[in-house]
Chains A and B, each alone.
Chain A
């Protein structure tokens, strides 16, 4: 089941609009094409999910939006439009004005994402003081307010504690509160629940959804858990080896998965549940090819049931299944569906 309230946001100006994003990283062995030709856009109060195995480029994509890539990485794009402005060539100084202020990011491991030597309050307040020129007192009030928003009962006391005194779930709430201090338009969440207990996972996801509604934020949610996608996202982009292999509304992609990789993923999960899905994502046999050096042809071919010689020779562009639902394969949806049934019949 996908979210029903996505209709309204489709018409308005997108918060983030990424087009033709490439990230190349220098490694000892050569140039690693970590992300190639990724395009998507997310509107206010809309959630896009980036899905894929680890190493597929989803985290690099999100860091690229924040312009937080390591120095060895080189970013090129047709454009990365944030709130109408192209930030592709923003200087570091311009970016520091956006980060934490109008775009925020939360990370996978709340245990290591907070600075161990400073009090929670200090870490929350400094964001507000920096971006809003607020006094310590105003920042403290704001921090208390947000801690309540993220469901923390005794904010005043929590603000004086150090990260190691809190549980993982609480720390992730602190991270969310910290990134919402300045009411950003875009929140990037990089596997925000992976490191948490299952019951806490659900709470954090629900919290993100309610906060999204309240602040009308665009969310880019990175996950390898298709159950999370089904619950949270309006749109989904399936990534494989640095490229988007299929993207569209969650409804369309889940109802009519077209790329063999997407189909493999979806077949692996039972239709219910948050929990079982992600374990199986890597269980399609075969290995992801190296992305170092020039990559020709379809990266999925050595794991694909439909692969033919031509797949190794030709690069494939995204092509539509229908409006706003694209996939990246040489074969037509019908061919893929037919061959699939052929295999199944054997």
Chain B
């Protein structure tokens, strides 16, 4: 167990280092940051000045090491536009994004697991087929489109000026300018209903299918036959003996999905003008605010690495074969 843990930690650390290099390098290799920042009408001197001011004229590995060295001391640099510390910018917004992600995961799992179990128990009946149709449709729905449909459906059918905390007039304005109006600080739980529903719809199908496949496999296993031969109740056979085993791969997928949600909430955050990390990211990308962008990329990647590490630990906890080997 200890060996397993240490090996996983070392790999995670290596991956984190590589990801930080990739995240850092991507921005610099994609284009000339200085001339982008200087604007189209800038002279060569302007570009050179900006380049020097932001340290972009130094060799790239110096820039990287400098950035990492500062980052390790908790200093991720400052935004080029607001001049606020990047770490502060992220920390004040991570709450919104994390709330979105965890709520969406919880809702997604709360739908996916019962539906997947039901589909497996009623395999090849209309229940199963309905679940399959839901999952295929969910997978094919672009989430920005789904979000707009939600707004439209609630807005037009309810005929109310305020839909889940959003004023319809506001939403229409949001449509005009993509950069949006951040409702920072004023977001209530209602503001999260539609975004969470959107994200949950995106992640639910994969979780549901994996639960179903896992349950089908487990239900036809020898040990479930044993459990039935022991005369255990249907509940015990289904939940104690089957789901516990079928859930193992779902835990891993859930961690991956959570990582995806943290990075992928950019779309709903933009549509619903929630001032989270995704929202910060897209505004910074638009303004080439590279200290913010690279920090967010690496921050999200490291969060993902930690999450998968966690899911491995949970799997080890749930599965004695992993834990004791």
A and B associate in one complex: yes
Chain A contact residues, CB within 8 Å of chain B: 66, 68, 92, 95-101, 104-105, 107, 109, 112-118, 126-127, 130-131, 162, 164-165, 175, 178-179
* A99 with B319: CB separation less than 8 A: no
Q: 3 closest pairs, A vs B, by CB? A: A99-B231, A100-B231, A100-B230
* B229 with A68: CB separation less than 8 A: yes
Complex: A118 Cα to B226 Cα, angstroms: 13
Least distance between A292 CB and chain B CB atoms (Å): 19
Binds A, one of B55-63, B142-150, B232-240: B232-240
Beyond contacts A96-B231, A117-B320: 15 other A-B pairs, Cβ-Cβ < 8 A, are: A68-B229, A96-B234, A97-B231, A99-B230, A99-B231, A100-B229, A114-B223, A114-B226, A126-B232, A126-B236, A130-B231, A130-B232, A164-B321, A178-B226, A179-B229
Give chain A residues whose Cβ lies under 8 Å from the Cβ of B230: 99-100, 104, 126-127, 130, 178-179
Complex: A115 Cα to B232 Cα, angstroms: 13
Q: Does B139 contact A (CB under 8 A)?
A: no
Contact residues of B between 93 and 120, Cβ < 8 Å to A: none
> B229-272 interface mask toward A, CB cutoff 8 Å, 1 = contact, 0 = none?
11111101000010011000000000000000000000000000
Give chain B residues whose Cβ lies under 8 Å from the Cβ of A116: 223, 245, 319-321
Q: Does B6 contact A (CB under 8 A)?
A: no
**Residue from the list B223, B319, B325 in contact with A113, Cβ < 8 A:** B223
Give chain B residues whose Cβ lies under 8 Å from the Cβ of A97: 231
* B320 with A162: CB separation less than 8 A: yes
Return the chain B residue nearest A165 by Cβ: B324
Give chain B residues whose Cβ lies under 8 Å from the Cβ of A113: 222-223, 225-226
Complex: A100 Cα to B228 Cα, angstroms: 8
Give chain B residues whose Cβ lies under 8 Å from the Cβ of A112: 221-223
Complex: A11 Cα to B231 Cα, angstroms: 30
Least distance between A163 CB and chain B CB atoms (Å): 8
Interface-centre pick from B228, B236, B321, B324 (highest chain A CB count, 10 A): B228
* B223 with A92: CB separation less than 8 A: no
Return the chain B residue nearest A63 by Cβ: B225
Give chain A residues whose Cβ lies under 8 Å from the Cβ of B221: 112
Q: Does B227 contact A (CB under 8 A)?
A: yes
Q: Does B318 contact A (CB under 8 A)?
A: yes
Complex: A58 Cα to B322 Cα, angstroms: 36
* A98 with B320: CB separation less than 8 A: no
Contact residues of B between 278 and 325, Cβ < 8 Å to A: 318-321, 324-325
* A107 with B222: CB separation less than 8 A: yes
* A117 with B319: CB separation less than 8 A: yes
What are 14 A-B contacts with C-beta separation under 8 Å?
A: A66-B229, A68-B229, A92-B234, A95-B231, A99-B229, A114-B223, A116-B223, A116-B319, A116-B321, A117-B245, A117-B318, A117-B319, A175-B226, A179-B229
Majority SS at the chain A contact face? helix
Return the chain A residue nearest B230 by Cβ: A100
Give chain A residues whose Cβ lies under 8 Å from the Cβ of B231: 95-101, 127, 130-131
Least distance between A166 CB and chain B CB atoms (Å): 12
Give chain B residues whose Cβ lies under 8 Å from the Cβ of A175: 226
* A99 with B244: CB separation less than 8 A: no
Complex: A104 Cα to B225 Cα, angstroms: 12
* A115 with B225: CB separation less than 8 A: no
* A115 with B233: CB separation less than 8 A: no
Complex: A117 Cα to B221 Cα, angstroms: 13
Least distance between A128 CB and chain B CB atoms (Å): 10
Give chain B residues whose Cβ lies under 8 Å from the Cβ of A101: 231
Least distance between B65 CB and chain A CB atoms (Å): 46
Least distance between B247 CB and chain A CB atoms (Å): 10
Return the chain B residue nearest A99 by Cβ: B231
Give chain B residues whose Cβ lies under 8 Å from the Cβ of A127: 230-232
* A162 with B227: CB separation less than 8 A: no
* A162 with B229: CB separation less than 8 A: no
Least distance between A266 CB and chain B CB atoms (Å): 32
* A68 with B241: CB separation less than 8 A: no
Complex: A165 Cα to B228 Cα, angstroms: 23
Give chain A residues whose Cβ lies under 8 Å from the Cβ of B232: 96, 100, 126-127, 130
Complex: A175 Cα to B229 Cα, angstroms: 11
* A162 with B321: CB separation less than 8 A: yes
With A112-B223, A164-B321 as contacts: A105 and B229 at CB distance below 8 Å: yes
Complex: A131 Cα to B321 Cα, angstroms: 29
Return the chain A residue nearest B244 by Cβ: A117
Interface-centre pick from B223, B233, B236, B318 (highest chain A CB count, 10 A): B223
* A115 with B245: CB separation less than 8 A: yes
Interface-centre pick from A96, A98, A114, A115 (highest chain B CB count, 10 A): A115
Give chain A residues whose Cβ lies under 8 Å from the Cβ of B320: 116-117, 162, 164
Least distance between B285 CB and chain A CB atoms (Å): 45
Interface-centre pick from B226, B244, B319 (highest chain A CB count, 10 A): B226
Give chain B residues whose Cβ lies under 8 Å from the Cβ of A114: 223, 226
Give chain B residues whose Cβ lies under 8 Å from the Cβ of A179: 229-230
* A107 with B319: CB separation less than 8 A: no
Return the chain A residue nearest B321 by Cβ: A164
Interface-centre pick from A100, A104, A109 (highest chain B CB count, 10 A): A100
Give chain A residues whose Cβ lies under 8 Å from the Cβ of B319: 116-117
* A104 with B244: CB separation less than 8 A: no
Least distance between B1 CB and chain A CB atoms (Å): 13
* B229 with A115: CB separation less than 8 A: no
Least distance between A247 CB and chain B CB atoms (Å): 25
Complex: A164 Cα to B325 Cα, angstroms: 9
Give chain B residues whose Cβ lies under 8 Å from the Cβ of A96: 231-234
Least distance between A129 CB and chain B CB atoms (Å): 10
Contact residues of B between 201 and 227, Cβ < 8 Å to A: 221-223, 225-227
